[in-house]
Amino acid sequence: MTALAQKAVEITHEVGLHARPSVKFTKLAKSFPAAIEMALAPEGPWFDAKSIVKVMAAKAPKGTVLHLRASGDEAELAVDALVALVERDFDEADAHVRTA
Amino acid sequence: MSGPHRLTGIPASHGYAKGPMVGLDAGTKAYAAKGSPAAEARALAIAIEGASEQLAALATQMLGEAADMLEFQLAMLADESLAAPAFAAIEDGALADRAWLDALDVEIAGYEASEDDYFRARSADLRDIRQQVLDVLAPAGDLAVPSGAILVGDDIAPTRFLAVDWSQGGGIALAKGSSASHVAMLARARGVPMVVGLGPVPSDFDLPVFLDAEHGHVLLGPGDEAEALFHRAAEAFAARWRAAEENSAKPAATADGTPVRVLINVADPSDVERIDVATCDGIGLMRTEFLFGKSEGLPDEETQYRAYRKVLEWAAGEPVTIRTVDAGGDKPVPGYTVEEGNPFLGLRGIRLSLARPEIFRVQIRALLRAAVHANLKVMFPMISVPEEYTLAAALFAEEADRLAKAGIEYAMPPLGIMVEVPSVAIAPELFSDVAFFSIGSNDLTQYVMAAARDNTAVAALNSVHNPAVLRLIASVAAFGQKDGIPVSLCGDAGGDPAAIPALLEAGLRDLSVVPAQLALAKTAVAGVSL
């Protein structure tokens, strides 16, 4: 049962898709059997969302719109889970320091 | 290398150290060719695996930042695409060490080219990974560092930092480096002095090196006078550090024993996670703007309630003063604030809340419900006239009534106001029915001095030390004492050692400061005799 899923999500985490979030992101991606790809623009280039080397090399700062697509088993589930992780700011509570 | 010499860089972790120089950039070791592409590939695979095992072993001893950093390096090493170009080059006849170096150099160059400080700083992690594998490929002699040494080089690998015994002192002086690097974070966490961005540093200096990581200097052969100055500065720093450590754990009091409550300002609920509530007297200002700047729109009642409740639970009965949303001015919120030519003098703080009561009522309900859990007080920002307080208090009463009718648990917190608009500071007697005053020294200063706090061109005018500002603060404190209305101060002045004596002399006994200034503020309080 091959499926195709595609979604976009904006990175709201303060320092973007940095080291710790990339570890979480690729770990989660690898937990799905589907082939998952990521891009910074809807026209690509697309790269493997399970590769931390590729994900970090994207150097995606806060405000970047991530495009995700997946095919194969659990494609839909995989994309939804990754989008949710990005929306939760990678489960990292970060301080927004403002001037008093 | 002769004669006195001083290099200047950027402090990445404050402190002082003196010790022998140890160069970090040891020469490359000889790699023994293995004879065939297949053997080279095998050697590289084994080296990557060996480096991973060493990292994993190191990771088990680390917590927090260090563990996260090692986990990241491990994940990079485990990713086949990192070494794929190296294996391809080996198939084309390259030796394992050269193939690995070239492949990693491409990755490193990619990070170095980033415009983002954070991603640029990751090049140090990649260099670390590169070195880890090289060390296994071509084992060299002992890389052990004598304790108390000043490590000098272009940059330092995090694993190298972690391998050093820092308990005997020592420090780091880097030609390049970054204060956003993992090593800088580790150095700050462990109190290891570190300076980055020094430019070319000689690596063959055989006298002790003096590292002043408070101001960002490295002294090579400073001479007697400069050496004496260095030692005095180092001792003063150590004394301040010890005093701050001691003071931060106990309640603040002046030299003559007058107790002073030092509370903290919180911008986000996660700010409190790293702080022990026992080291402060509660929260003097919890901002709520963090809830309103999200891309998903304005926060609903449940989101707000949970955020407030989290902080109230952390406070464990100590007072928590939450300020209703102070959007506008330099804090625009899409879909809420309005575009204005002069936002600091426009629709901000309570003015905006009263103009958009449907949004304000949501926050009020969340606060009324959260008040059940602990010692909550609520204050309104940017109050200029008594009617604003009356209207806001009436909305609290209305919402409390609605919650009561719906059978929802709530409590009415004491309602106070910020004193930041000069009209309030000049005539506080018009506000004698508020439960408390909280002086917002930053905004009060900018409005009294007509000098925007975010404009460096008028930074000299924006001074809380101006007698006009201090006189207003003192007069509000005096009015509060006379009429039995508690007066506190939140804002940078509360953590400013130069302002604290004047604030205490003015009669203030409640100061609220950012968490990073807590120890400093308590130390400054201890130095005041009233």
**CATH at B184:** 3.50.30.10
Do the chains contact at B75 and A93, CB–CB below 8 Å?
Answer: no
Three-state DSSP class for B273? helix
The answer to whether residues B283 and B189 belong to one domain is: no
Residue B480 lies in a domain: no
Enumerate the residues of chain A whose CB falls inside 8 A of the CB of residue B285. 100
Instruction: Rank A33-42, B88-97, B99-108, B421-430 by mean pLDDT and report only the highest.
Output: B421-430
Partner residue facing B514 (CB), from A12, A27, A100: A100
- Check whether A100 has a pLDDT greater than 50: no
- Check whether B1 has a pLDDT greater than 50: no
Q: Which chain A residue has its CA at the smallest distance from B326's CA?
A: A100
Residue B468 lies in a domain: no
Per-residue pLDDT at B63: 65
The answer to whether residues B108 and B152 belong to one domain is: no
B117 touches chain A (CB under 8 A): no
The CATH number of residue B92's host domain is 1.10.274.10
Nearest Cα to Cα of residue B448 among B429, B473, B478: B473
Residue B29 lies in a domain: no
Per-residue pLDDT at B417: 98
Do the chains contact at B453 and A57, CB–CB below 8 Å?
Answer: no
Residue after which a domain boundary falls, among B242, B271, B291: B242
Do the chains contact at B295 and A22, CB–CB below 8 Å?
Answer: no
Per-residue pLDDT at B143: 56
Residue B498 lies in a domain: yes
More confident residue, B80 or B223: B80
d(CA A18, CA A59): 7
Q: Which pLDDT band holds residue B61 (cuts at 50, 70, 90)?
A: low
Residue after which a domain boundary falls, among B242, B271, B306: B242
Helices then strands (H, E): number in chain B? 18, 18
The answer to whether residues B47 and B76 belong to one domain is: yes
Q: Which chain A residue has its CA at the smallest distance from B80's CA?
A: A51
Mean pLDDT of the B369-388 span = 96
- Cβ contacts from A onto B, under 8 A: 84
d(CA B421, CA B441): 10
The answer to whether residues B266 and B400 belong to one domain is: yes
Q: Which tens digits make up the pLDDT trace of B245-277?
A: 777 778 899 999 999 999 999 887 777 876 788
Cα-based distances in Å from B66 to B127, B427, B477: 16, 54, 47
The answer to whether residues B232 and B373 belong to one domain is: no
Mean pLDDT of the B501-511 span = 95
The answer to whether residues B74 and B183 belong to one domain is: no
- Check whether B166 has a pLDDT greater than 90: no
Enumerate the residues of chain B whose CB falls inside 8 A of the CB of residue A54. 81
- Check whether B527 has a pLDDT greater than 70: yes
Catalytic residue among B217, B280, B373, B490: B490
- Check whether A31 has a pLDDT greater than 70: yes
Q: Which chain B residue has its CA at the smallest distance from A22's CA?
A: B72
Enumerate the residues of chain A whose CB falls inside 8 A of the CB of residue B515. none
Considering the segment(s) A4-90 as one domain, its CATH architecture is: 2-Layer Sandwich (3.30)
Residue after which a domain boundary falls, among B103, B137, B171: B137
A27-36, B183-192, B366-375, B478-487: segment of lowest average pLDDT: B183-192
The answer to whether residues B57 and B158 belong to one domain is: no
Q: Show Cβ contacts of residue A24 under 8 Å, excluding neighbours closer than 6 positions.
A: A85, A90, A91
Do the chains contact at A53 and B82, CB–CB below 8 Å?
Answer: yes
| Chosen from B71, B79, B182, B344 to mutate, greatest number of chain A CBs within 10 A | B79
Percentage of chain B exceeding pLDDT 70: 94
* Contact between residue B378 and residue B413 where contact means Cβ atoms under 8 Å apart: yes
Nearest Cα to Cα of residue A36 among A77, A1, A65, A64: A77
- Check whether A94 has a pLDDT greater than 50: no
| Chosen from A13, A50, A52 to mutate, greatest number of chain B CBs within 10 A | A52
B177-191, B194-208, B334-348, B356-370: segment of lowest average pLDDT: B177-191
Residue B423 lies in a domain: no
Do the chains contact at B268 and A96, CB–CB below 8 Å?
Answer: yes
The answer to whether residues B318 and B398 belong to one domain is: yes
The answer to whether residues B286 and B344 belong to one domain is: yes
The number of domains in chain B is: 3
Domain spans of chain A, in order of start: 4-90
Nearest Cα to Cα of residue B473 among B422, B434, B430, B414: B422
Per-residue pLDDT at A42: 87
* Contact between residue B194 and residue B12 where contact means Cβ atoms under 8 Å apart: yes
A92-96, B22-26, B65-69, B438-442: segment of lowest average pLDDT: A92-96
Q: Which chain B residue has its CA at the smallest distance from A26's CA?
A: B75
Residue B439 lies in a domain: no
A32-41, B317-326, B429-438, B491-500: segment of lowest average pLDDT: B491-500
The answer to whether residues B225 and B266 belong to one domain is: no
B280 is catalytic: no
Average pLDDT of chain B is 88
Residue B447 lies in a domain: no
Mean pLDDT of the B129-139 span = 83
- Check whether B394 has a pLDDT greater than 60: yes
- Check whether B399 has a pLDDT greater than 90: yes
The answer to whether residues B188 and B291 belong to one domain is: no
The answer to whether residues B326 and B380 belong to one domain is: yes
Mean pLDDT of the B451-469 span = 85
Give how far B128 is from chain A: nearest CA, Å: 14
Residue B457 lies in a domain: no
* Residue B181, domain extent: 5-24+146-242
Q: Which tens digits make up the pLDDT trace of A60-83?
A: 888 889 999 999 988 999 999 999
Cis preceding-peptide flag for B497 (omega within 30 of 0): no
B1-5, B80-84, B185-189: segment of lowest average pLDDT: B1-5
